[in-house]
Amino acid sequence: MYSGPMMKWQQRKHLITRRGLVYSLVLCLLILGLGGLGFWLLEPRAVTLSDGLWLAFTTAATVGYGDIVPSTHASRAFAVLVVLLGLAVLSLVTASVAAMFVETEERQIERDLMHAIGALRAEVQSLHAELRELKAVRHEAPPNAANATR
């Protein structure tokens, strides 16, 4: 369907899109993990690491259930950092998922276009063949017969 360079580009593009989602999800988990560790160390109300992870998740997702909230200046400043990083990473994940949907639709459009181009090429080849036949008939006909039909 695609030529060599076109096929390689399509494969690379597909891999980059999928890899982008994986990288975004790994980055998301890393930020949540480090955020949980940070809250566990900075926030006195986050008694366990799971409390710190929960606070990191609710802060990064800007949900803020209120069961555990940052109470010290250090944990509040850290919460600002977690919110900013969380919004950035969640945006990356959303963009990666959206890119996968767009890529699927784009590939279908490309397939349709390639099919239409193939049909046009076949039609042009048919017209060239017909033109060659007409030229051959014209050259074989006697000169008087060609003038009589005009």
Measured CA to CA, the distance from residue 133 to residue 143 in angstroms comes to: 17
Q: Spell out the domain ranges in the chain.
A: 4-148
How many Å apart are CA 9 and CA 47, to the nearest integer? 51
pTM score > 0.75 for this model? no
Fill in the DSSP letter of residue 149. T
Note the CATH architecture for domain 4-148.
Answer: Orthogonal Bundle (1.10)
pLDDT tens for residues 59-117? 988 888 889 999 999 999 999 999 999 888 888 888 888 887 887 788 888 899 999 99
The secondary structure of 12-45, three-state, reads: HHHHHHHHHHHHHHHHHHHHHHHHHHHHHHHCCC
